Amino acid sequence: MKIKKTAKKNLGAMVMAGAIMFSATVAGAGTPKYVFFFLGDGMSNSQIQATEAYMTQANGGSAHEAADLLRPENRLNMSKMPVIGMQTTYDVHSLMPDSASSATAFACGLKTQSGTVGMDDSKTVSYKSIAQLAHEAGKKVGVISSVSLDHATPAAYYASVPSRGNYGDIDTQLVGSGYEFFGGGGLKVMDPDELDDYGYELLNDRESIMGLKDAPRDKVVCINPWLQNSQAMPYAIDRPETNVSLAEMTEVAIANLKGDQGFFIMVEGGKIDWACHANDAGATIGDMQAFDNAVGVALDFYKQHPFNTLIVVTGDHETGGMSIGHATTAYSAHYERLLGQTSSFTYFDANQWAEHKAAYAATTDCSTPDTLAGNADMLGLMESVFDLNWTDLNEYQKEKLEDAYDKSLCGNNDNSNAENGLLYGNYNPITVTITHILNEQASIGWTSYSHTGVPVPVFAQGVYKRLFAGFYDNTDIAKKMARAMSLGTVPAMK
Amino acid sequence: MKIKKTAKKNLGAMVMAGAIMFSATVAGAGTPKYVFFFLGDGMSNSQIQATEAYMTQANGGSAHEAADLLRPENRLNMSKMPVIGMQTTYDVHSLMPDSASSATAFACGLKTQSGTVGMDDSKTVSYKSIAQLAHEAGKKVGVISSVSLDHATPAAYYASVPSRGNYGDIDTQLVGSGYEFFGGGGLKVMDPDELDDYGYELLNDRESIMGLKDAPRDKVVCINPWLQNSQAMPYAIDRPETNVSLAEMTEVAIANLKGDQGFFIMVEGGKIDWACHANDAGATIGDMQAFDNAVGVALDFYKQHPFNTLIVVTGDHETGGMSIGHATTAYSAHYERLLGQTSSFTYFDANQWAEHKAAYAATTDCSTPDTLAGNADMLGLMESVFDLNWTDLNEYQKEKLEDAYDKSLCGNNDNSNAENGLLYGNYNPITVTITHILNEQASIGWTSYSHTGVPVPVFAQGVYKRLFAGFYDNTDIAKKMARAMSLGTVPAMK
């Protein structure tokens, strides 16, 4: 691509200062052969603590007894990594970045605007990712995500597009990347059957994909058979036994990419973010555990190759303004309340709710004040799917559920638009109200349906882990990764 | 104190494992002569990011432009420290600790229950703080707090009491500590004029206290002249020019304690927590800046004594479930909305609101639906104190303010008790509703009026800073501090 001189100048003093700071490459000796970058989309401190409190409860302990919370089996793998950093997540124009700009920060070391992937704020200059630089330097590359493989976060490692929505261009750059391994969700535009036109073998059932552990291939795309919506893998809480989990996909990728050349593997837990957007703690925690299990696979690999491996784990931004505390529960925590949830909001909306609405929308009398209280089927669903028992609720919670049920089943309620916007965002009113109340009972609060601007922790293990100590900007992560891998200066123009 | 053997046994495997891990003392060579521990009560990532976004705006930048947010003058001093850690904050029985148990964790390396200071969960065994151990080892000790000097956090460094409310016992142990310097707020029970009976000189005006920089004394208690309530210093936003700020008090302490013996100084920003309990971001940010300015004084001292100084900064728990994002603002941030707030909720309640209520409570017709909209005096107060203009609000915000005004001025409103509990906690309804709406406009949300369980970052600079890397428990901080200062194994029984 031809570079415009004006755009070059517009990089800004900040980026240049960063580039100078990290321009010195590290001598080849000691450079890690195997490098993992784990990205929990929407993950920050609250998502981590909520998951550990849930795990404590699920393992038979109490989420308010320190002796239980501190037991090693109740801590996430990432929590046990020896080096911690913290990063500011804002992008060039927003304190709350999107996943495109933050992925560009991690992949290319470049600040850009929300929505843009692998290009600068002018949307005219394209940059190489550390994955591409590692590939050019001879490493094999794997890209794994629980959402579609052409979603913003994975895309930043192989594509440069002005808008994350340019899925056709992203898919074209995916097959043009030459990377050896892709795995997880599907593709938004390209028919996967076309992959072999570009030299990629497509595998899309559990048996074939797991078989790769014993019989690696040169260039492969592994797409799970059950894609829940938007070509993404289903939530872990929805028990996709026919699928390959993020942890298993990481094992498969390692088996395929391991060898003299070394590898760079990026693994995204992409639906942590989606669950947090919807303020669904149960789905969030399930996908946090699935993501952290994949981190565990890399840590096991590190133990076999301690002098050749670097593992970095972080989030791109927090989502939902999640907190480990709520006005209604004050100083008490009740994570056992979450153990009974059996479906994500997505699965519930698409299945149980859809069936319920089809059965009752035409016949329910929406003019009565106790529409929900009078519907045994719906009260039963609340109990069977979310373990939420009507008789345990206070009057205010019942009122909120009645309002939401009216809106979901009958199309409207008595609230102002401003109140409904605050209460439901763009989600199914009854479902988001159920998860709000259930989460509050556990002591989890939410403030937003969007990303937030809270700084995010970084965890590191292995060779050069100490580079990741301290409080820095998200763009510095790519610079540190490039330095650890001796890939030269980033941002690096294509 | 006589130690009960049963209590000894009850310490638990967890504490003992930690004690073993950190039992090896570090050789005297290289042990830092000067040690600072800074404790932002109620401070975690959100409080830090909100303050930096506010500072960016106050310094003429934009809180959503990365180039402005990243400018060094818009970053807190603590954010520039080279080593980051993260700590779990739970106490022995609660995911959301109080300041007594968390202060005991930092001071004594001991898990205890909420409410207890310097004693274990049985409330029968007393433990030495690292301040006491440092004092016994010959270091001078200073204890500084913006709240009363016998409040839970400072008390943990010199007192052991079953309940944080035992102020009489705490005050007795304060004067019995022999520590060389106390400064900040006042005392809850003891008449400060009695201090000289115990060998302490009392200074309680700005000129005398600042004079200590040039003429140090042996044992001194510095109590600021303006104490706002509960013997605490006023909020920084309330402009206490007659007082000595936390930063100035830190300078005075250094001047008094510096010398061959070395020192340990604990500085608490105690009202960050109080402001977060009340969900008042403006007051929070003001006290965050005052606290961080004190950190800056220590960092300046470090630059003069880089091989002899250790500085550790952390929070004891998050308060309020503060987030950098809200459903009503989504991906936009407007921290300029906070620049116009001129008083804390406390100052407003005690002054402007008290006067307003006295003038209008008897004559206002509380039965009309637009009580507030019809009161020009109150609308004027909202604008002059909080920069909140009635005509800029949406219908839902106006409804919330009308409900709160009815409750504050007239004693009741139409809401259920459950709704009022959620909306106001135990705060003045009109004031907390004003700060909620103002904060939401800036993009700050809150979920609780209590402490929360989110992990908290730790920042370190100086000798042994690397001890503070990684993700560990709050009790490990005392163990690391003791190790850095060669104070032996903690927890150490009295």
The CATH number of residue B235's host domain is 3.40.720.10
Residue of B15, B51, B84 to mutate, interface with A, max A Cβ within 10 Å: B84
The reported pLDDT for the residue numbered A240 is 86
What is the distance in angstroms between the Cα of A334 and the nearest Cα belonging to chain B? 10
CB contact under 8 A, A90 and B64: yes
Nearest to A84 among B86, B416, B452 (CB): B86
According to DSSP, residue B483 is labeled H
Are residues B13 and B80 both part of a single domain? Answer: no
User: CA-to-CA distance for A143 and A151, rounded, in angstroms?
Assistant: 11
The reported pLDDT for the residue numbered B339 is 98
User: CA-to-CA distance for A388 and A379, rounded, in angstroms?
Assistant: 8
Are residues B169 and B295 both part of a single domain? Answer: yes
Nearest to B422 among A321, A328, A443 (CB): A328
Are residues A14 and A99 both part of a single domain? Answer: no
Are residues B110 and B14 both part of a single domain? Answer: no
Residue of B21, B447, B456, B466 to mutate, interface with A, max A Cβ within 10 Å: B447
CB contact under 8 A, B453 and A459: no
Nearest to A469 among B82, B322, B445 (CB): B82
CB contact under 8 A, B96 and A443: yes
* Parent domain of B108: 33-322+460-493
The reported pLDDT for the residue numbered A20 is 36
Establish if B238 belongs to a structural domain: yes
Lowest mean pLDDT among A198-207, A381-390, B28-37: B28-37
What is the distance in angstroms between the Cα of A207 and the nearest Cα belonging to chain B? 38
How many residues are listed for chain B in this entry?
A: 494
CB contact under 8 A, B86 and A330: no
Beta-ladder partners of B320 = none
Nearest to A321 among B323, B450, B470 (CB): B323
What is the distance in angstroms between the Cα of A178 and the nearest Cα belonging to chain B? 34
Establish if B60 belongs to a structural domain: yes
> What are A11's two structure tokens?
């990089």
**Residues B471/A80, Cβ–Cβ less than 8 Å:** yes
Question: What tens digit of pLDDT does each residue of A422-477 get?
Answer: 999 999 999 999 999 999 999 999 999 999 999 999 999 999 999 999 999 999 99
In the block, tokens 């913290």 appear at: A86
Region B243-265 average pLDDT: 98
Residue type for position A335:
Y
Chain B residue whose CA is closest to A417: B396
Nearest to A447 among B447, B471, B473 (CB): B447
Question: What tens digit of pLDDT does each residue of A400-409 get?
Answer: 999 999 999 9
The reported pLDDT for the residue numbered B367 is 87
Q: What SS3 class is residue B459?
A: strand
Establish if A454 belongs to a structural domain: no
Chain A residues with CB under 8 Å of B418 CB are 394-397
What is the distance in angstroms between the Cα of B419 and the nearest Cα belonging to chain A? 6
Residue of B471, B472, B476 to mutate, interface with A, max A Cβ within 10 Å: B471
What is the distance in angstroms between the Cα of B423 and the nearest Cα belonging to chain A? 9
The reported pLDDT for the residue numbered B7 is 40
Pairing of strands A140-145, A470-473: unpaired
Q: What ipTM was predicted for this assembly?
A: 0.92
The reported pLDDT for the residue numbered A30 is 77
Is the previous residue joined to A491 through a cis bond, with omega within 30 degrees of 0? yes
User: Does residue A210 register a pLDDT over 50?
Assistant: yes
Are residues B105 and B152 both part of a single domain? Answer: yes
Are residues A305 and A183 both part of a single domain? Answer: yes
- What is the value of pTM for the model shown? 0.93
Beta-ladder partners of A334 = none
Establish if B330 belongs to a structural domain: no
**Binning pLDDT at 50, 70 and 90, where does residue A208 land?**
very high
Are residues B386 and B482 both part of a single domain? Answer: no
User: CA-to-CA distance for A493 and B4, rounded, in angstroms?
Assistant: 69
The reported pLDDT for the residue numbered B22 is 38
Are residues B284 and B235 both part of a single domain? Answer: yes
Establish if A333 belongs to a structural domain: no
> What are A363's two structure tokens?
């016949």
Chain B residue whose CA is closest to A111: B66
User: Does residue B20 register a pLDDT over 70?
Assistant: no
Region B104-110 average pLDDT: 98
Are residues A21 and A39 both part of a single domain? Answer: no
User: Does residue B28 register a pLDDT over 50?
Assistant: no
**Binning pLDDT at 50, 70 and 90, where does residue A10 land?**
very low
| Average pLDDT of the residues of chain A | 94
Per-residue burial over A102-124, b if 16 or more Cβ lie within 10 Å, else e, is bbbbbbbbbbbbbbbbbbbbbbe
The more confident residue out of B25 and A63 is A63
Establish if A365 belongs to a structural domain: yes
Are residues B409 and B477 both part of a single domain? Answer: no
Are residues B288 and B433 both part of a single domain? Answer: no
CB contact under 8 A, A70 and B322: no
**Binning pLDDT at 50, 70 and 90, where does residue A383 land?**
very high
Chain A residues with CB under 8 Å of B88 CB are 49, 69-70
Tally of domains within chain A: 3
CB contact under 8 A, B66 and A459: no
CB contact under 8 A, B448 and A321: no
Question: What tens digit of pLDDT does each residue of A294-309 get?
Answer: 999 999 999 999 999 9
Are residues B174 and B50 both part of a single domain? Answer: yes
Region B163-175 average pLDDT: 98
**Residues B243/B225, Cβ–Cβ less than 8 Å:** yes
User: CA-to-CA distance for B360 and B475, rounded, in angstroms?
Assistant: 52
Residue of A11, A15, A323 to mutate, interface with B, max B Cβ within 10 Å: A323
B316: which residues sit within 8 A by CB, 6+ positions away?
B39, B40, B41, B42, B89, B97, B99, B102, B103, B106, B153, B273, B456, B474
The reported pLDDT for the residue numbered B199 is 98
**Binning pLDDT at 50, 70 and 90, where does residue A366 land?**
confident
Question: Which alpha helices (H) appear in A406-485, and where do they start and end?
Answer: 417-424, 429-442, 474-484
Establish if A332 belongs to a structural domain: no
Establish if B199 belongs to a structural domain: yes
Nearest to B425 among A327, A469, A473 (CB): A327
